[in-house]
Structure formats: structure tokens, C-alpha cells
Amino acid sequence: MKYAGMPFGMWALFAGSFQKQLTAVLGYDADTAKAITKKAKPQYRQIIRRLPEFEKADRFKMNLVNCAMTGAFVLSMPQRPEVDRLTDYYAKAMMTKPMQWFCRKSGKREFTAKDIAAMKATTALKAADRNPYSWNMEFYEYPDGSGYEGRFTKYQVSAVSASDVLKRNTDSLCCAVENDVFASLPQDSLLDELGNGVGR
């Protein structure tokens, strides 16, 4: 995967927050947090280079880029935190004010014709059949007409840990973060593009 584009943008948007939470959540002093961040950047770029390019229509590229950033910081820490502390760290590092705005904006598209069309397109794409780091999703409409959901048949976040990016249970981490972070948001602000169904 090329670093230019989304991976570059995600680092620019979130590296400062990831550094800040090294102190606020994990207790590192400011100098150590700065040193970890400095070490994490080339690690992140190396991880990104090892990943395949995602198809243009694949909505799950951001999931993998987020996982790569988390992995780069974990691998750059003097000591890897336990999953509970890492979950708290990741949640707070990602939930910047712009990200909260993004999630609420995404939530407003739920149950619209555009959202349904996008989910059906993702179902048809079946990107994970060609990319082991992506996800396959099935669009399922409730028989009583009350709504719909995306049911995942392939989700390969574990492939990242298998390739020595993260040596912990990444699926459990991402699922815990998703449940914890978005439980506090209004019901119409459920996560769409970012992390939808990861770890299920």
C-alpha cells in the first residue's frame, strides 16, 4: 500500500492524539511519549508498505490503516500494555473532536437510500475474496421491515497480528473499542464507514 493518501492523512490527523494519550492514559512522561511517536512513524510506514493496495470501492481500507497505526505505536512502546489499557488508549486517541463529528455525520446517513445502496455495493464487491486484509459483508434486511444490518462473513484484522504487527488479540481489541467508544454516542450516530462490524 502506498503511504501517500489516506495513510499519510491518518498520521497527520491522529499522531498528535496518539502521542498525547501515551501520557494521559499510559503514564509515559512527555519526553518518552515524544520518543515513542518518533519511533512509531517509520514503523507505521513500514507496515503500510507491506500491505496490499485496496480496491477503490473498498470501504474498509481505513480499518486497516487504523490498525497499522495502533500497531506501530504498540511496537514502539518500551512495554506493551495489557489489552484493557490498550483499548482505553486507542479509544481516547481516536476519539478526537473531528472524529466525533465524523461519526455523527455518518450516523445521519443510516437508513437512507444512499446508505442502503452503499451497503449493497459492498456486499457485491466481496473484496476479501481478493484481499486478505479486507472484509466481506452481506446486506440483511429484517423480515418485518424494521431495518437492516451488515453481517460479516470475512473479517481479517487478525491477519495484521499474524504478520507481527500486533501480537495481541486484535479482534477483541477492536470490538471492545467499537462497543465502548460508540456506546456513548446517540443511537443515530452509530459507526458506519469506520470499524463497522470489526471483530464480529
Sign of the dihedral through C-alpha 167, 170, 162, 37: negative
The candidate with the shortest Cα–Cα distance to 132, out of 192, 60, 36, 45, is 60
Whole-number Å distance between alpha carbons of 81 and 87: 9
Give SS3 for 148. strand
Reported confidence tier of residue 156, pLDDT bands at 50, 70, 90:
low
What is the share, in percent, of the chain residues with pLDDT greater than 90?
42
Whole-number Å distance between alpha carbons of 163 and 100: 31
Please, what's the largest Cα pairwise distance for the chain? Answer: 57
Reported confidence tier of residue 67, pLDDT bands at 50, 70, 90:
confident
What is the share, in percent, of the chain residues with pLDDT greater than 70?
77
Q: Domain residues of the chain, as ranges?
A: 6-189
Burial 59-86 (b: 16+ CB within 10 A, else e): bbbbbbbbbbbbbbbbbbbeeebeeeeb
pTM: 0.73
Least confident of 57-61, 99-103, 131-135: 99-103
Whole-number Å distance between alpha carbons of 187 and 141: 19
Give SS3 for 138. strand
